[in-house]
Structure 1
Amino acid sequence: MRTYILSILFSLSCSLVWSKEYNASFFGIKSDGVTLNTNSIQTGIDYIHKEGGGVLVFNVGRYLTGSIELKSNVAIQLKEGAVLVGSLNPYDYNMEGPCYSMIRAISQKNIAIYGKGVIDAQGRQVSYNIIDQVHKGFIKDPLENDRPRRPRGIHFKQCQGITIEGITLKNTCDWTQEYEECDSLWVRGITVDNKAYWNNDGIDIVDCRNVLIENSFFDASDDAVCLKSHKAEVACRNVVIRNCTMRSSANGIKLGTMTVGGYENIRIINNKVYDTYRSALTIATPDGGYVRNIVVDSLQAYNTGNAIFLRIGNRTHSDKVGSMDSVLISNLYVEIPEGKPDAGYEYEGPIEHMPRNISPASIIGLKGHPITHVTLKNVVINHPGAGKPEIAKVGITPEELDKVPELADSYPEFSCFKELPAWGLYLRHVEGIALENVTFIARKRDYRPAIVLDDAHHVNMSKMKIQEPGKKKQQIHVYQSTNINK
């Protein structure tokens, strides 16, 4: 409700600021797709800003540009048929400072990009052109892996009052859009088609508060919708993600990886994930940050490599280890294929440790730092089963379970463990877990039990259903755990 009230107030305040319209041609901006308009577009934005605010309107045409900077009280409207096209020349982008991008804003208020038009960054070719300059020695690549620093599509930092609505964003070099330490951000009805290169996240929310992402579509070669936290003194707070559809060659919805501050009061409601290589939902805190008060409701995932992955790690080997508490996941349905879920897409997820047995959903803390108070309610996980000890065997004897590595400093993806001893759900270093009306379905016989609990305490299971073909076997294995009610 607080988000809705803020949205209404923000819309009312901006309707007056943005009431005056300026046609792009007024500033000599050309729509021929050939003329470089960077200076003309920036002149228009600066002029409207100085005049107290308004809308820079782009009608039908292709508008070529490098880096531009949005200013307070200025909106860009891309009408249907208008395409803002990224320059292919890497040196047309501002490589200096924290916001290396096609469209950026730093410490601005009341800004917007909206309409039925398109932002096409031409990122695949721009990336190749940057790599060409790296190989020739003109641009430094500290990573030396042909994934150099590249311009993002949109990067807004420390801004307040942002609307991104209706537009299509496609083919950026790097993350499609990043909003960092912003307040009052509304993303509505947008389409993201970003499979141009590696690391093409659909949207990244970094240490922002009062965020609404709704009714949008994301197709990305990296995480589709991703929350991050880069600073200990801030966090992602009061975020709603609802009514969205997403596909990814990484994760569908991810809280992490970088988690220094934390995540609090996050609502993820009525979303769909499909053809996704990694987890439909990942919540990770490997860098000392906190996670609390997370609600995920009505998430449907089809043809995704993993259902859910909740993880505490410690990549920095610090005394400050992250925490995760109060997570509710309800009305979840996931179908996991036996094969690679993103096969055939241009940038597929990596083939790691193949062949391997298909991983279970997992909630894994660290020894002495358990994940606490997680509820799974009204959940169906439809798993292929088919796990074979001939591929790789992790058994359930004490010796075998003790050999499952902690991997505190590993990159937090479900695949980092290679093999786990359950096919349905693996719980390790957890406390206060509730499984209510949870169904696990294995389509083929699996050598592993459905559920393994290791260092799990105060776990309540009610109305549990486990379906697996073949002879009945013990489906729940408990090890080093207490107060398990099943």
Structure 2
Amino acid sequence: MRRVAWPLALALLAFPLTAAPASATTATTAAAEFNVRDYGATGNGSTNDDDAVDRAINAASAAPGGIVVFPSGNYRARTIHLKSNVTIRLDSGATVRAASSGMDAPEPNAFDDYQDFGHSHFNNSLFVGRGVTNVHFAGAGSIDGDGNLSTSNSPPSGAGNKAIALTECANVSITGITIRRGGHFMALLNGCHDILIDNLKTVYAENGVRDGINLINSWNVVLQNSRIEASDDAVALKSDFALGHTYTSQNVRVRDTTIYSHENNAMQFGSETCGNFRDIRFDNITVLGAGKAGIGMVSMDGAIIEDVHYTNVTLTKTTTPIFMKIGERKRCPGSPPAGRIRNIHLTNVTGRELTAPEPSGTTGGPELTSTITGTPAVDIGPDITLDGVKLTVPGGHPASDATRVPGEFLTSYPPRDYGTRPAFGIWARHVQGLSVKGEMRVDENDNRPAFIVDDGSGIQLDVIAQRGSGSAYDVGVSGISGYSVTGANTAGGALRVRATNSTPVPGNPVSLYGEAEAATITAPMQTQQDPAASGGSYVTVAPGNNSQSAAPPTGHATLSFAVPDPGSFKVWARVIAPTTSDDSFWVRADGGSWTNWNTVPLGASWHWAQLPVTYDLSAGTHTVTFAYREDGARLDRVAISSDPSFTPSDGPPPTGSRYEAEEATIAQGVVESNHAGFTGTGFVNGDNAAGPYVEWTVTAAQAGAATLAFRHANGTAVNRPMAVSVNGGAPVTVNFPGTGAWTTWTNATLPAQLNAGANTVRATSTTANGGPNLDHLAVTGP
């Protein structure tokens, strides 16, 4: 036997105590090598070498701290028995291959009713260690089940079913090696702590593989710089009752790793969940495929799962991007009550090509919606946050799928059980304290809403959602106490919210005004001049146009309002209704159903009148549209208010509420008048470049919230965004999509805070296409 110096300062020992074994100390002495060939191993691939390997392990453990060396060769083996203070070093070209028979028999387990066979028995493994400390796998070689490790829940007599099984071990490392065809588990660690898995590779194969790495009842773990492939769950955190007790799984770090699960979950909690989980981090993860969920988390047996963070995760070829569920299987002693999932945070999670790996290997369809669900008795949450989650899903579903109501499935956990969900982006049910900030898009038109949340409380959505051509709404909430929805569709319009038996989060009362002549106006509605009108103009229909039985398809005036806080809004209009034959309009909000406003108080002078409607509006941009019903009725100004005590003033019209672009400060642009429909003397046509701007000076009587409405036209089909800053503050991007023609003027609105007195508002183009043609800036409030 040849002895050489071997450094034992393993990479594990370089990690800070918060992310690595707390009891680890740096060894500075050289370690002895114990070559398995010196103990009788042949490495010829046919002779069983496990007895020789066990002799080398015994010698290395007695050293202690010896290194068992496998030089290049193929080492056929039955069960190899690990001992404390031993490193298994697999040199390049060395492979330990499982024997087809003669593995240790599975030990009896009084608790095997609480988990399946593979989780309950450990002796029938290629490498097995029980209660050992300071055991390490290192080198550039491999472990190969060679098709002889069973993936069955009832393996034949004499067969093994795991490549590595460790129970209640401490100070463990697996670095550098490759594991192939590991049977039911490539590596199963139960009740272990102070673990480093670094630069490990497990290889998927069509046969001889189920789970990748199972960390069961384990703590103080780092898994990093690895590539974990499997057919079943690739990286799974579990807590079963195979040991007759549980440990809290905590202080687990998985980072800088690529993961692939052909048929099941890439990152998974459960389904075995008897004990609790806390303080778990997944950082910088690339998921190349998952037949079930990319990010999977189930509490089926009473576990509390909390303080879990996923940061910088990329998903591809993933059937269900995100799946979180509380169930009631109760497969633990004492029939425990439903568990909890709370304080879960996903940050910067992106996904594309979100279908199952090919061939699918699943029975529930190639793509399924991200799902977050509790039980009718136990909500999932609180403090479930998805921040910067951007998913592009396949889409392609009809609007009829939006009416689906999936079952509860309290005792099962696969995502496919729920079938097609009623939303394409995220479907959540029985949830509290859910916050989502991100984007949901589709590859193919999908007429389901992007989000549906049923039964819960404290829901906050600030999202961009692609809108199906035939979808009825973008966000649905039902049975929600306290919800807030902000954001826009991908074309820049307001999100359409369908709220059923739900109440919005109370916001600060706000009152907003809009000039009728600043609305988007379609013929035969038209603008007329009147010095007594607010802003000097009003809107009416050309004489001879009446539509009393139904709202007309054209002849509309649509105003936009930027609502800073959700609430129930009353609507007022400053009108003239000369006689009973010309005293009505049709009115609707956000493209919804029309209301016949046939109760306009008569009067030949301008006066405010309240409409017989109240609209529940989320925070964001909303529209109120007036259509003609009887000619002669005139519309000057519109106010919406969530203040129950609000009554608009019927005094003289305010001054200085509209600021013409041609009178502002212009950089890299010209004043033109060649496209009809503008107000004032012209409009500003900025250069087609990034950087040109228009800057207005606007006056506010007092400090407070205001709405900025930029009247513009964009005759192209390309969005021409501008960065808008107020008083030199941080710029906010405002989208100016195509309006259909350079003579079609409309408004883009933005909420802003103004100071008392003079304020500057600058709109700067941000792309090579430049900005739109700008007509004027209208300011409402404070």
Flag whether TM exceeds 0.5 (same fold). Answer: yes
- Given that 1:182 and 1:209 are in contact with CA atoms closer than 8 Å, whether structure 2 keeps it comes out as yes
1:253 Cα offset (Å): 0.5
Aligned to 1:279: 293
1:234 aligns with 2:243: no
Q: Is the Cα contact below 8 Å between 1:173 and 1:196 reproduced in 2?
A: no
> For 1:348-427, what aligned pairs fall within 5 Å after superposition?
349-352=361-364, 354=365, 358-372=367-381, 373-388=383-398, 393-396=400-403, 401=405, 404-410=406-412, 412-427=413-428
Q: Distance in 2 between matches of 1:174 and 1:195?
A: 12
Task: Give how far 1:129 is off.
Answer: 11
Q: What SS does the corresponding residue of 2:308 show, helix, strand or coil?
A: strand
Paired-residue identity, %: 23
In structure 2, relative to structure 1, the CA distance for the partners of 1:175 and 1:73 (3 Å cut) is same
Q: Are positions 1:264 and 2:278 aligned together?
A: yes
| Structure 2: distance between partners of 1:128 and 1:367 | 36
Distance 2:373 2:79 in 1: 43
Point out 4+ residue stretches in structure 1 off by more than 4 angstroms. 1-5, 128-131
Deviation (angstroms), 1:150: 4.4
Letter in 1 for 2:201: T
Q: In terms of mean alpha carbon deviation, does 470-479 or 205-214 score higher?
A: 470-479
For residues 479 and 451 of structure 1, the distance between their equivalents in structure 2, rounded to whole angstroms, comes to 11
Distance 1:330 1:427, change over 3 A: same
Decide whether aligned partners of structure 1 residues 78 and 150 sit closer, same or farther in structure 2, where only a CA change above 3 A counts.
closer
Q: Distance in 2 between matches of 1:336 and 1:440?
A: 13
Question: How far apart are residue 95 of structure 1 and its match?
Answer: 3.0
Alignment check: 8 A CA contact 1:382 1:440 kept? yes
Distance 1:199 1:369, change over 3 A: farther
2:341 maps to 1:324: yes
With CA pairs under 8 Å and 6+ residues apart, which has the higher RCO, 1 or 2?
1
Equivalent residue number for residue 315 of structure 2 = 301
Q: Contact 1:93–1:151 (CA<8 Å) still a contact in 2?
A: no
Match of 1:450 in 2: 450
Name the SS of the counterpart of 1:227 in structure 2.
strand
Mapped to 2, the partners of 1:10 and 1:128 lie a distance apart of 35
Equivalent in the alignment of 1:177: 187
Deviation at 1:394, TM superposition (A): 4.4
Distance 1:227 1:449 in 2: 33
Change (3 A) 1:34 1:108: same
Deviation at 1:101, TM superposition (A): 0.6
Q: Distance in 1 between matches of 2:140 and 2:211?
A: 22
Residue in 2 that maps onto 1:70: 82
Q: Give the alignment partner of residue 95 of structure 1, picking from 99, 106, 109.
A: 106
SS of the equivalent of 1:416 reads helix
Instruction: Check if 1:253 corresponds to 2:267.
Output: yes
Change (3 A) 1:29 1:430: same
Please give the alpha-carbon distance, in whole angstroms, between the structure 1 residues aligned to 2:22 and 2:308. Answer: 24
Name which one, 1 or 2, has greater alpha-carbon Rg: 2
Cα distance change of structure 1 residues 199 and 405 upon mapping to structure 2, 3 Å threshold: farther
Say which SS state the counterpart of residue 375 (structure 2) adopts.
coil
Question: Mean alpha-carbon deviation: is it higher for 24-33 or for 372-381?
Answer: 24-33
Query: What is the CA-CA distance between 1:388 and the residue it aligns to?
Result: 3.1
Structure (1/2) with the larger helix percentage: 1
Shift of 1:466: 0.4
Q: Which amino acid aligns with 1:368?
A: A
Matched, 1:48 2:60: yes
Q: How far apart, CA to CA, are the structure 2 residues paired with 1:81 and 1:331?
A: 40
CA contact (8 A) 2:19 2:220 kept: no
SS, match of residue 481 in structure 1: strand
Determine the C-alpha separation between the residues in 1 that align with 2:377 and 2:46: 61
The two structures, once aligned, show a CA RMSD in angstroms of 2.4
Per-residue CA deviations over 1:243-284 (Å, capped at 9, x if unaligned) read 110111211100111101121100000000013211110011
Q: 1:121 to 1:414 in 2, by over 3 A?
A: same
For 2:151 and 2:402, the matched residues in 1 are separated by 47
The answer for the alignment partner of 1:188 in structure 2 is: 198
User: Which amino acid in the other structure matches residue 84 of structure 2?
Assistant: S
2:219 is aligned with 1:217: no
Q: Secondary structure at the match of 2:184?
A: coil
Residue 23 of structure 1 corresponds to 35
Structure 1 residues 1-34: Cα deviation after superposition (integer angstroms, max 9, x where no partner): 7546745963614x64x71112222211112112
Q: Equivalent residue for 2:350?
A: 333
Residue of structure 2 in register with 1:104 after alignment? 128
Distance 1:428 1:51 in 2: 58
- Matched residue type, 1:342: P
Aligned-partner residue type, residue 371 of structure 2? S
Does the Cα contact within 8 Å between 1:267 and 1:296 map onto a contact in 2?
yes
List gaps (5 residues or longer) in structure 2: 1-14, 109-120, 486-782
Structure 2 letter corresponding to 1:108:
V
Q: In the alignment, residue 92 of structure 1 is paired with which amino acid?
A: M
Q: Does 324-333 or 445-454 show the bigger shift? A: 445-454
Q: Relative to 1, partners in 2 of residues 1:295 and 1:64: Cα closer, same or farther, differing over 3 Å?
A: same
Report how many aligned residue pairs link the two structures. 450
Q: Is residue 2:338 matched to residue 1:314? A: no
Superposed CA offset, 1:192-225 (max 9, x none): 0143547611100000010000000012111110
Q: Distance in 1 between matches of 2:36 and 2:390?
A: 52
Q: Which moved more, 1:323-332 or 1:4-13?
A: 4-13
Q: Give, in angstroms, the shift of residue 448 of structure 1.
A: 1.4
CA deviation after TM superposition for structure 1 residue 442, in Å: 1.4
For 1:144, the equivalent position in structure 2 comes to none
Amino acid at match of 1:21: E
Partner of 1:145: none
Equivalents in 2 of 1:333, 1:165: separation in Å?
29
Distance 1:215 1:128, change over 3 A: closer
Aligned to 1:480, the other structure's residue is in SS state strand
Deviation at 1:415, TM superposition (A): 0.9
Unaligned runs of 5+ in 1: 141-148
Q: 2:41 aligned with 1:39, yes or no?
A: no
Q: Is the 8 A contact 1:88 1:125 kept in 2?
A: yes
